[in-house]
Amino acid sequence: MQIKIPYTPRKLQRNAHSRKERFALLVCHRRFGKTVFAINEVIKCAAMCKLKDPRFAYISPLYRQSKAVAWDMVKHYTRPIPEIKYNEAELRCDLPNNARLTLYGGDNPDSLRGLYLDGVIMDEYAQMSARLFPEVVRPALADRKGWAVFIGTPRGHNSFFDLYQSVKDDPDWYVKIHKASETGYLDDDELVAARKQMSEDQYLQEFECSWTAAIQGAYYGKLLEAAEKESRIGKIQFDPSFSVETWWDLGIGDSTAIWFVQRNGGELRVIDYYEASGEGLNHYVNVLQEKASTGTWTYSDHIFPHDVRQRSLDTGRSRVEVLYNLGIEAKIVKMHKVEDGIETVRRTLNNCWFDDLRCRRGLDALRQYRAEYDETRRTFRLKPVHDWASHAADAFRYGCMYSPIMNTWDTLNYSNSGIV
Find the helix or strand (DSSP H, E) in which 400 lies.
helix 390-401
151 plus 59 within the same structural domain? yes
* Residue 233 β-bridge partners: 354
387 in the same domain as 360: yes
- Residue 100 within a domain: yes
pLDDT for 418 beyond 60: no
pLDDT, average across residues 60-84:
94
Query: Domain holding 243: CATH number?
Result: 3.30.420.280
The predicted-structure confidence for 204-247, as pLDDT tens digits, reads as follows 999 999 987 777 788 998 899 899 999 999 999 999 999 999 99
Percent of the chain with pLDDT strictly greater than 90: 71
414: left (phi over 0), alpha (psi -120 to 50) or beta: beta
Domain that residue 86 falls in: 11-208
pLDDT tens digit sequence for 122-139:
999 999 988 899 999 999
Residues 202 and 250 in one domain: no
Report whether 344 contacts 257 (CB < 8 A).
Answer: no
Give the pTM. 0.70
Q: Which of 176, 208, 240 is the last residue of a domain?
A: 208
Check whether residue 268 and residue 201 sit in a common domain: no
For the ranges 91-95, 111-115, 196-200, the one whose mean pLDDT is highest: 91-95
Residue 35 has pLDDT above 80, yes or no: yes
Instruction: Tell me, yes or no, whether 332 lies in a domain.
Output: yes
142 and 163 assigned to the same domain: yes
- Does 6 reside within a domain? no
Any domain includes 36: yes
366 and 411 both lie in a single domain = yes
Q: Could you tell me if 154 and 293 lie in one domain?
A: no
Domain boundary among 166, 181, 208: 208
Residue 164: inside a domain, yes or no? yes
Residue 213 lies in a domain: no
Task: Say whether 396 sits in a helix, a strand or coil.
Answer: helix
CATH number at residue 119: 3.40.50.300
Between CA 61 and CA 119 the distance in angstroms is 17
> Are residue 313 and residue 392 in the same domain, yes or no?
yes
In a domain, 337, yes or no: yes
pLDDT in tens, 329-373: 999 998 999 999 999 999 999 999 999 999 999 999 999 898 887
Average predicted confidence (pLDDT) for the chain: 90
Q: Are residues 96 and 183 in the same domain?
A: yes
* Residue 5 domain-assigned (yes or no): no
Nearest to 155 by CA among 125, 126, 178: 126
**Based on the structure, what is the number of domains in the chain?**
2
